[in-house]
Amino acid sequence: MNIKETLQEIFRTVFEDGELLINEEMTANDVSNWTSLTHLIMIEKVENTFKIKLTLKELIKLKKVGDLLDLIQQKI
């Protein structure tokens, strides 16, 4: 699985939507259950799955799924 597919699996699990298809422009507005509470669970799963660490500064800057994909790409 590539980064996007892996991230999609994480999204499907955390946001409890087995059919969720992610895209670069997607934001919290587009996904039911994407709140600050689930956001941190998703970030923890991303860190563990890709074996990376995201800083607070990086977390705050994230605006859409595309930003997260870019960040993962840079870090692995």
Instruction: Name the residues that contact other proteins, by CB under 8 A.
Output: 28-33, 35-37, 40-41, 55-56, 59-60
- HSE-up of 42 (CA within 13 Å, CB side)? 24
- For residue 64, is it left (φ>0), alpha (ψ between -120 and 50) or beta? beta
The nearer residue to other proteins, 5 or 57, going by C-beta atoms, is: 57
CB of 54 to other proteins, least distance (A): 8
Nearest CB to other proteins, comparing residues 2 and 42: 42
Of residues 32 and 73, the one with the C-beta less far from other proteins: 32
The pair of three-digit structure tokens given for residue 34, joined into one six-digit string: 């994407």
How far apart are CB 1 and other proteins at their closest, in Å? 27
Q: Which two tokens stand for residue 22?
A: 């992610």
